[in-house]
């Protein structure tokens, strides 16, 4: 597409949030006369002056795009979607993205761009339109969207810090002059900001050079932690000398082994494997020769074979055998046909399949068909569910045709996947940020675990919902969307009921397995009877013992990490709170300290109560750490693992715990909601939920929905590929209707009750919510500002505005918070007007004396 066409295409469709245009009386006249004047001038005197301009997006929260002039020499190279180097403010440079190419001068003075960074656009028209939508829908600036969308390597700025790349394996002497200067400076100084690079080279424009050096992997961004560069290796086996150079000597080797038949077999297997391929993986040899590590190590001792680590690319480069996908079950065949049928008329289909029904196999089939047609596919998952399990399953079938885009990649790898997507990579598996990849022929989007709240970005802007944004993105491409889950969100299910989405159900587990049996245990009764053993009922303890005796595994779910959420004085009731936030500190026994789960603040345990001096300090409540701790007493022989934020912090820890559990090195896994996501364990006989009340009492209109989803999801881990599993739910409030619905695995009953409540109390999906949070470090300032701000909005919105109100946690990281909630009828015009109004209100407040330092966060569709 030509530059001009591009420019045309972009011109009209964009309006910016917040809208900046205003029609001033008389402007029409002045515009007209100016235009005439310019027209005449160009007729008479063609000059060398610039007559091409670009509007660009800067990667930050500035309210609108900026215009720069394009010097003549670059006019032929500038196009929508490339990055240009620009100066912004007195001393700062940025890589900005060209949004539009103009041939008319803006009515004001402009700076010229410093360089054009890219030869070809880094994103397509669809992505720009997507950015635009995200900005408008979620009330943030295009710059913030750009910031979220681009991998860091594509977002250069003055303060960007570079270092020498550990991957650079060339000779620094071979570099070009400027590259050499930078590389040399980096060997001495280790790291440089782009500002310093500019000074060293003494030139004005450096970004094209930096881009080149990043592409060639001479340098990398400092923000890439070292560990993200650790090479991935696989163990391989090869012959030793003299057998490599003199294969005729192999007979000697066979003689040496003659009495060890298994070693002979291994050697024969090795030779056979080595004939067909460059490398022989140790695992392959194990498999083919049916031998284990002891056989190979014996052959190492005899100096015939050696094991070595061979480096492989961390992304792609799949080396295992590709296998045929399993034959489809009847239910899967029917579901696929139904999905395809719905896709004839509808863009979105919800696949509601019980845990273990084999949804993944259905996805695989649809992906395969899309691939055959040469289409691109995006498979979205909540980040934490992006475990090796699902990755392996897809790679086994699709090999190198799949790339995985997630937060554990370094920036080079991100750019690699970015470019491959642009070139048409078939299948991308990723978390929500993968929505921003430069697809060009996206035709199918799968959103797995569509109900999961972690699809929503909470902070910072753009606060987007990955599932909802996926549906918009798909629409841009004319792509179909498949939402999959065992426990649909109320919104998605509602859309099937009003005919907007298709609905396909899979009610049977694969292989005819039964769904687990659920038992509710009344905590109140047990407490009254005095039969509790700490936080365990006799029923749970007995069931656990029975399960372990049968050689099966147990999962225990407690949605709180740490040892105990409250540390208090039993004499005067003083509780230990965070100094920055209005929450009590959680006691962590392993580290013997108190921690804030909101800001990370840590402190030592007080020796005595600071209020009354008493030494009777006690803990209250319980988290995963305490459960793990006490289990060790009740079940001294069980091997217990724990999976929560505290134990998966280090790289690969998450994968290791899952692996240990999968391979039976752990009998019991205690965890937070991490254990509910995307795991397929084969020997789990029992799942225990220690306190369902905690889930039900959450102060949010979605508490019931979340509780229902969490309980059914964690229950779904029981009895897979095995036999009927069991679930025990401990709860005080047995009468809560959600408990009964979980007991009966009755989504319909749950939905019917919940949807009525939503309607009655003006909640989604009937009403749209926008939450606005004001933050400031001084309570008196925030209170007064909230009044003013609230009055401004209320004068226009009336009762649709709720608040001001102090949220559940009223102070976080030393900022005092005030919330407003806007409830809107689902009327697009009203919603549009309200968003404009919110922008106006912000403008109004920040321009009031004394309030310019208030922070305002707008959250559309808060979760």
What stretches of 500-649 show up as alpha helix (H) in DSSP? 523-529, 538-549, 624-634
Q: Whose Cβ is closer to Zn ion: residue 222's or residue 580's? A: 580
Q: How many amino acids of this chain bind ligand ADP (CB under 6 A)?
A: 16
Per DSSP, 515 falls in state P
We find the least distance from the C-beta atom of residue 332 to ligand ADP, in angstroms, to be 6
Q: Whose Cβ is closer to ligand ADP: residue 194's or residue 354's? A: 354
Q: From CA 54, how far away is CA 74, in angstroms rounded?
A: 11
Helix axes 359-372, 330-343, angle to 10 degrees: 50
Q: Whose Cβ is closer to ligand ADP: residue 358's or residue 790's? A: 358
Among 81, 151, 316, 358, interactor with ligand ADP by CB under 6 A: 358
Q: Whose Cβ is closer to Zn ion: residue 293's or residue 572's? A: 572
Kindly give, in sequence order, each residue whose CB lies less than 8 Å from that of residue 41, ignoring residues fewer than 6 positions away.
none
Q: Whose Cβ is closer to ligand ADP: residue 359's or residue 561's? A: 359
Among 680, 705, 754, 859, interactor with ligand ADP by CB under 6 A: 680
Q: Could you identify the residue written with the tokens 């029917």?
A: 334
We find the least distance from the C-beta atom of residue 298 to ligand ADP, in angstroms, to be 36
767 binds, among Zn ion, ligand ADP, none (CB under 5 to 8 A by kind): none
The reply on whether position 368 binds ligand ADP by CB under 6 A is: no
The reply on whether position 681 binds ligand ADP by CB under 6 A is: no
- Region near Zn ion per CB under 5 A, out of 192-200, 564-572, 730-738, 739-747: 564-572
Q: Whose Cβ is closer to Zn ion: residue 596's or residue 821's? A: 596
Distance separating the N- and C-terminal Cα atoms of the chain: 40
CA 852 to chain centre: 33
Q: Whose Cβ is closer to ligand ADP: residue 69's or residue 349's? A: 349
Among 351, 417, 431, 581, interactor with Zn ion by CB under 5 A: 581
Residue numbers 591-610 binding Zn ion by CB under 5 A: 596, 598-599, 601, 609
329 binds, among Zn ion, ligand ADP, none (CB under 5 to 8 A by kind): ligand ADP
Q: Whose Cβ is closer to ligand ADP: residue 450's or residue 842's? A: 450
How many Å is the maximal CA-CA distance in the chain?
103
Task: Give the C-alpha distances (Å, rounded to integers) separating 848 from 50, 110, 132, 397, 804.
Answer: 40, 30, 29, 60, 18
The reply on whether position 618 binds Zn ion by CB under 5 A is: no
Q: Whose Cβ is closer to ligand ADP: residue 23's or residue 323's? A: 323
- Region near ligand ADP per CB under 6 A, out of 69-77, 101-109, 310-318, 353-361: 353-361
We find the least distance from the C-beta atom of residue 339 to ligand ADP, in angstroms, to be 14
CA angle (678, 680, 682) in 5-degree steps: 165
Q: From CA 834, how far away is CA 830, in angstroms rounded?
A: 6
The reply on whether position 132 binds ligand ADP by CB under 6 A is: no
599 binds, among Zn ion, ligand ADP, none (CB under 5 to 8 A by kind): Zn ion
Closest by CA to 693, choosing from 753, 727, 736, is: 736
Among 611, 645, 653, 752, interactor with Zn ion by CB under 5 A: 611
571 binds, among Zn ion, ligand ADP, none (CB under 5 to 8 A by kind): Zn ion
601 binds, among Zn ion, ligand ADP, none (CB under 5 to 8 A by kind): Zn ion
Among 14, 74, 229, 574, interactor with Zn ion by CB under 5 A: 574
φ/ψ of residue 652, rounded to 5: 75, -5
We find the least distance from the C-beta atom of residue 390 to ligand ADP, in angstroms, to be 9
We find the least distance from the C-beta atom of residue 619 to Zn ion, in angstroms, to be 14
We find the least distance from the C-beta atom of residue 694 to Zn ion, in angstroms, to be 20
Q: Whose Cβ is closer to ligand ADP: residue 356's or residue 438's? A: 356
358 binds, among ligand ADP, Zn ion, none (CB under 5 to 8 A by kind): ligand ADP
Contact (CB, 8 A) for 725 and 719: yes
Residue numbers 313-342 binding ligand ADP by CB under 6 A: 326-329, 332
Q: Whose Cβ is closer to ligand ADP: residue 99's or residue 385's? A: 385
Task: Give the C-alpha distances (Å, rounded to integers) separating 210 from 163, 423, 498.
Answer: 11, 23, 53
We find the least distance from the C-beta atom of residue 600 to Zn ion, in angstroms, to be 7
Q: How many amino acids of this chain bind Zn ion (CB under 5 A)?
A: 15
Q: Whose Cβ is closer to ligand ADP: residue 353's or residue 621's? A: 353
Q: From CA 325, how far away is CA 335, in angstroms rounded?
A: 17
Q: From CA 605, how far away is CA 592, in angstroms rounded?
A: 7
- Region near ligand ADP per CB under 6 A, out of 357-365, 366-374, 403-411, 454-462: 357-365
Among 346, 361, 706, 771, interactor with ligand ADP by CB under 6 A: 361
Q: Whose Cβ is closer to ligand ADP: residue 486's or residue 707's? A: 486
- Taking residue 231's Cβ as centre, other Cβ atoms within 10 Å add up to 12
69 binds, among ligand ADP, Zn ion, none (CB under 5 to 8 A by kind): none
Q: From CA 145, how far away is CA 45, in angstroms rounded?
A: 42
The reply on whether position 571 binds Zn ion by CB under 5 A is: yes
Q: Whose Cβ is closer to ligand ADP: residue 51's or residue 389's? A: 389
Q: From CA 117, how far away is CA 74, in angstroms rounded?
A: 11
Closest by CA to 354, choosing from 218, 158, 506, is: 506
We find the least distance from the C-beta atom of residue 595 to Zn ion, in angstroms, to be 9
Q: What Rg do the C-alpha atoms of the chain give, in angstroms?
A: 31
Residue 693 is encoded by which pair of tokens? 């009340």
Residue 684 DSSP SS3: strand
Among 359, 654, 726, 771, interactor with ligand ADP by CB under 6 A: 359
Among 721, 753, 794, 802, interactor with ligand ADP by CB under 6 A: 721
Contact (CB, 8 A) for 484 and 447: yes
Q: From CA 172, how far away is CA 175, in angstroms rounded?
A: 5
We find the least distance from the C-beta atom of residue 336 to ligand ADP, in angstroms, to be 11
- Taking residue 541's Cβ as centre, other Cβ atoms within 10 Å add up to 19
Q: Using CB atoms within 10 Å of the CB of residue 247, give its burial: 0 to 12 exposed, 13 to 18 middle, 19+ buried.
A: exposed
We find the least distance from the C-beta atom of residue 486 to ligand ADP, in angstroms, to be 6
Among 59, 81, 316, 356, interactor with ligand ADP by CB under 6 A: 356
- Taking residue 808's Cβ as centre, other Cβ atoms within 10 Å add up to 12
721 binds, among ligand ADP, Zn ion, none (CB under 5 to 8 A by kind): ligand ADP
Task: Give the C-alpha distances (Å, rounded to integers) separating 273 from 201, 253, 318, 408.
Answer: 54, 17, 18, 34
Per DSSP, 216 falls in state T
356 binds, among Zn ion, ligand ADP, none (CB under 5 to 8 A by kind): ligand ADP
Residue numbers 509-548 binding ligand ADP by CB under 6 A: 510
Phi/psi region, residue 562 (left: phi>0; alpha: psi -120 to 50; beta: rest), is: left
361 binds, among ligand ADP, Zn ion, none (CB under 5 to 8 A by kind): ligand ADP
* DSSP string for residues in 325-351: PPPPPHHHHHHHHHHHHHHTT-SEEEE
What b-and-e string marks burial along 307-338, b requiring 16 or more CB atoms within 10 Å of the CB? Answer: eeebebebbbebeeeeeebeebbebbeebbeb
Length, in residues, of the chain: 863
The reply on whether position 804 binds ligand ADP by CB under 6 A is: no
Contact (CB, 8 A) for 125 and 163: no
We find the least distance from the C-beta atom of residue 510 to ligand ADP, in angstroms, to be 4
- Taking residue 144's Cβ as centre, other Cβ atoms within 10 Å add up to 22
Which residues contact Zn ion (rule: CB under 5 A)?
Answer: 569, 571-572, 574, 578, 580-581, 596, 598-599, 601, 609, 611-612, 614
Which residues contact ligand ADP (rule: CB under 6 A)?
Answer: 326-329, 332, 353, 355-361, 510, 680, 721
């Amino acid at each position: 597409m030509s530059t001009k066409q591009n420019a045309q295409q972009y011109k009209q469709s964009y309006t910016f949030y917040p809208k900046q245009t205003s029609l001033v009386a008389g402007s029409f006249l002045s515009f007209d006369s100016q235009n005439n004047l310019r027209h005449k001038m160009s007729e008479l005197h063609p000059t060398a002056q610039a007559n091409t301009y670009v509007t660009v997006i800067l990667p930050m929260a500035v309210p609108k795009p900026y215009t720069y002039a394009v010097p003549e020499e670059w006019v032929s190279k500038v196009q929508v979607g490339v990055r240009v180097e620009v100066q912004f403010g007195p001393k700062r440079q940025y890589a900005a993205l060209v949004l539009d190419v103009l041939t008319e001068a803006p009515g004001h003075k402009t700076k010229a761009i410093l360089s054009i960074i890219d030869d070809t656009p880094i994103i397509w028209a669809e992505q720009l339109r997507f950015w635009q939508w995200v900005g408008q829908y979620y009330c943030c600036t295009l710059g913030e969207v750009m910031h979220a969308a681009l991998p860091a390597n594509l977002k250069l700025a003055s303060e960007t810090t570079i270092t020498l790349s550990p991957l650079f394996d060339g000779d620094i002497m071979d570099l070009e002059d400027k590259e050499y200067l930078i590389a040399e400076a980096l060997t001495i100084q280790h790291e440089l900001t782009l500002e310093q690079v500019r000074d060293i080279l003494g030139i004005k424009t450096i970004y094209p050079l930096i881009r080149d050096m990043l592409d060639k992997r001479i340098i990398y961004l400092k923000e890439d932690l070292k560990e993200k560069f650790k090479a991935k290796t696989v163990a391989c086996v090869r012959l030793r000398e003299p057998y490599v150079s003199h294969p005729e000597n192999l007979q000697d080797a066979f003689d040496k082994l003659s009495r060890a038949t298994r070693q002979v077999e291994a050697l024969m297997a090795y030779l056979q494997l080595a004939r067909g391929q460059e490398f022989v993986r140790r695992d392959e040899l194990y498999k083919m020769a049916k031998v284990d590590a002891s056989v190979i190590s014996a052959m190492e001792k005899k100096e015939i074979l050696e094991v070595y680590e061979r480096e492989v690319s961390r992304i792609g480069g799949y080396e295992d055998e590709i296998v045929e996908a399993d034959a489809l079950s009847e239910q899967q065949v029917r579901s696929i046909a139904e999905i395809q049928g719905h896709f004839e008329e509808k863009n979105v289909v919800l696949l509601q399949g019980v845990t273990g029904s084999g949804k993944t196999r259905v996805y695989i089939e649809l992906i395969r068909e899309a691939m055959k047609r040469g289409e691109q596919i995006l498979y979205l998952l909540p980040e934490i569910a992006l475990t090796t399990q699902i990755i392996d399953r897809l790679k086994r079938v699709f090999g190198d045709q799949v790339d995985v885009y997630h937060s554990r990649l370094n920036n080079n790898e991100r750019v690699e996947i970015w470019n491959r997507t642009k070139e048409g990579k078939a299948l991308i598996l990723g978390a929500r940020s993968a929505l921003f990849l430069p697809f060009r022929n996206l035709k199918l989007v799968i959103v797995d675990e569509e109900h999961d709240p972690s699809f929503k970005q909470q902070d910072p802007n753009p606060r987007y919902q990955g599932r909802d944004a996926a549906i918009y993105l798909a629409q841009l491409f004319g792509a179909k969307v498949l939402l999959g889950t065992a426990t649909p969100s109320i919104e998605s299910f509602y859309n099937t009921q009003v005919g907007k989405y298709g609905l396909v159900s899979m009610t049977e587990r694969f292989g005819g397995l039964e769904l687990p049996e659920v038992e509710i245990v009344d905590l109140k009764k047990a407490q009254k009877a005095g039969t509790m053993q700490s936080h365990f009922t006799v029923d749970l303890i007995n069931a656990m013992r029975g399960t372990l005796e049968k050689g099966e595994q147990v999962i225990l779910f407690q949605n709180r990490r740490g040892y105990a959420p409250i540390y208090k004085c039993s004499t005067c009731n003083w509780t230990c709170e965070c100094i920055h936030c209005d929450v009590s500190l959680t006691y962590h026994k392993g580290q013997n300290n108190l921690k804030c789960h909101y800001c990370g603040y840590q402190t030592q345990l007080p020796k005595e109560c600071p209020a009354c001096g008493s030494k009777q300090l006690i803990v209250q409540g319980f988290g995963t750490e305490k459960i793990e701790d006490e289990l060790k007493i009740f079940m001294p022989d069980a091997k217990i693992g724990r999976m929560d934020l505290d134990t998966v912090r280090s790289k690969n820890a998450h994968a290791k715990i899952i692996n240990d559990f999968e391979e039976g090195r752990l009998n019991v896994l205690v965890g937070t909601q991490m254990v509910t996501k995307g795991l397929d364990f084969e020997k789990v006989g029992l799942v225990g939920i220690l306190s369902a009340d905690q889930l039900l009492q959450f102060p949010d209109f979605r508490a019931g929905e979340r509780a229902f989803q969490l309980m059914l999801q964690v229950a779904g881990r029981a009895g897979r590929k095995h036999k009927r599993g069991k679930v025990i739910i401990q709860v005080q409030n047995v009468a809560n209707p959600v408990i009964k619905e979980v007991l009966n695995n009755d989504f319909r009953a749950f939905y019917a009750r919940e949807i009525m409540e939503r309607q009655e109390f003006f909640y989604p999906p009937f009403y749209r919510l926008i939450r606005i949070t004001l933050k400031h470090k001084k309570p008196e300032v925030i209170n007064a500002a909230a009044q003013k701000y609230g009055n401004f909005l209320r004068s226009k919105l009336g009762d649709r505005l709720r608040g001001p109100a102090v949220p559940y946690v009223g102070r976080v990281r030393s900022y005092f918070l005030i919330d407003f909630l806007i409830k809107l009828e689902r009327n697009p015009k009203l919603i549009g007007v309200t968003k404009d109004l919110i922008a106006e209100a912000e403008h109004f407040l920040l321009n009031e004396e004394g309030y310019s330092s208030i922070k305002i966060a707008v959250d559309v569709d808060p979760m």
